[in-house]
Amino acid sequence: MELIVSTELEFFLHTQHIKLRREKERLLQLTKHDEKENAQLEAEAIERTKAVSRNIMGKYSIWRREDNENSDNLVRLMREQLIMARVYASIAQSRNNLRLLRDLKLRIRETTRALGDANLDSDLSRSAHERIRTMGQTLTQARSELYDCGLIVRKLRATLQSSQEYAQTLKKQSTFLSQLAAKTIPKALHCLSLRLNVEYYTLPPEKREFPSQEKLDDPTLFHYSLFSDNILAASVVVSSTVRHAQEPHKHVIHVVTDRLNYGAMRMWFLANPPGKATIEVQNIDDFKWLNSSYCPVLRQLESAAMKDYYFKPDHPTSVSSGSSNLKYRNPKYLSMLNHLRFYLPQIYPKLDKILFLDDDIVVQKDLTGLWSIDLQGKVNGAVETCGASFHRFDKYLNFSNPHIARNFNPDACGWAYGMNVFDLKEWKRRDITGIYHKWQNMNEDRLLWKLGTLPPGLITFYNLTHPLDKSWHVLGLGYNPSIDKADMDAAAVVHYNGNLKPWLDIGLSRYKSYWTRYVSYDHPYLQQCNINH
Mean per-residue pLDDT for 480-499? 94
pLDDT band at 230 (very low <50, low <70, confident <90, very high): very high
- Radius of gyration, CA atoms only, the chain: 30
Co-location of 80 and 197 in the same domain: no
Question: What's the confidence (pLDDT) of residue 306?
Answer: 65
CB atoms within 10 A of CB 407: 11
pLDDT band at 72 (very low <50, low <70, confident <90, very high): confident
pLDDT band at 351 (very low <50, low <70, confident <90, very high): very high
* Counted domains in the chain: 2
- pLDDT averaged over every residue in the chain: 84
Co-location of 266 and 118 in the same domain: no
Q: Are 514 and 533 in contact (CB under 8 A)?
A: no
Domain span at 76? 2-181
Answer yes or no: is 105 within a domain: yes
Co-location of 103 and 214 in the same domain: no
Question: What's the confidence (pLDDT) of residue 272?
Answer: 96
Question: What's the confidence (pLDDT) of residue 403?
Answer: 94
* β-strand pairing of 419-423 with 380-383: antiparallel
Answer yes or no: is 457 within a domain: yes
Question: What's the confidence (pLDDT) of residue 180?
Answer: 61
| Residue 296, φ and ψ in degrees, nearest 5 | -60, -35
Question: What's the confidence (pLDDT) of residue 169?
Answer: 72
What is the spatial distance between Cα 471 and Cα 292, in angstroms, rounded to a whole number? 39
Co-location of 221 and 150 in the same domain: no
Question: What's the confidence (pLDDT) of residue 519?
Answer: 96
Domain edge (last residue) among 152, 181, 210:
181
Co-location of 176 and 124 in the same domain: yes
Mean per-residue pLDDT for 303-317? 59
pLDDT digits (tens, 9 = 90+) for 377-434: 999 999 998 865 457 898 889 999 999 999 999 999 999 999 999 999 999 999 999 9
Higher pLDDT, 461 or 60: 461
The contacts found for 388-394 with CB under 8 angstroms, 24 or more apart, are 393/458
What angle is formed at CA 302 by the lines to CA 298 and CA 305, rounded to 5 degrees?
120
Per cent of the chain over pLDDT 90 is: 57
Co-location of 122 and 242 in the same domain: no
Q: Specify which residues 283 forms β-bridges with.
A: 257
Answer yes or no: is 332 within a domain: no
pLDDT digits (tens, 9 = 90+) for 238-263: 999 999 999 999 999 999 999 999 99
Domain edge (last residue) among 160, 181, 202:
181
What is the spatial distance between Cα 56 and Cα 62, in angstroms, rounded to a whole number? 10
pLDDT digits (tens, 9 = 90+) for 149-208: 888 888 888 887 777 777 777 776 666 566 665 566 789 999 999 999 999 999 999 999
What is the spatial distance between Cα 262 and Cα 196, in angstroms, rounded to a whole number? 10
Co-location of 177 and 196 in the same domain: no
Q: Are 438 and 384 in contact (CB under 8 A)?
A: no
Answer yes or no: is 333 within a domain: no
* β-strand pairing of 361-363 with 493-495: antiparallel
pLDDT digits (tens, 9 = 90+) for 251-296: 999 999 999 999 999 999 999 999 999 999 999 999 999 999 999 9
Co-location of 142 and 259 in the same domain: no
Answer yes or no: is 303 within a domain: no
pLDDT digits (tens, 9 = 90+) for 315-348: 544 444 444 455 545 555 667 899 999 999 999 9
Question: What's the confidence (pLDDT) of residue 63?
Answer: 38
Co-location of 201 and 156 in the same domain: no
Is pTM, for the whole model, over 0.85?
A: no
Domain edge (last residue) among 155, 181, 207:
181
Answer yes or no: is 412 within a domain: yes
Answer yes or no: is 386 within a domain: yes
Answer yes or no: is 202 within a domain: yes
Residue 303 in this model has a pLDDT that exceeds 60? yes
The CATH number assigned to the domain holding 197 equals: 3.90.550.10
Task: List, edge to edge, every strand of the sheet that includes 251-257.
Answer: 278-283, 251-257, 222-227, 353-357, 419-423, 380-383, 465-468
pLDDT digits (tens, 9 = 90+) for 413-428: 999 999 999 999 999 9
Co-location of 212 and 168 in the same domain: no
* Cα 524 to the center of its chain, rounded Å: 29
How far is the CA of 95 from the CAs of 40, 147, 154, 254, 275, in angstroms? 25, 12, 16, 75, 78
H/E element holding 89? helix 73-94
Co-location of 114 and 222 in the same domain: no
Question: What's the confidence (pLDDT) of residue 68?
Answer: 52
What is the spatial distance between Cα 184 and Cα 301, in angstroms, rounded to a whole number? 20
What is the spatial distance between Cα 31 and Cα 21, in angstroms, rounded to a whole number? 16
Co-location of 67 and 162 in the same domain: yes
Amino acid at 382: A
Question: What's the confidence (pLDDT) of residue 24?
Answer: 57
Question: What's the confidence (pLDDT) of residue 56?
Answer: 40
Higher pLDDT, 319 or 487: 487
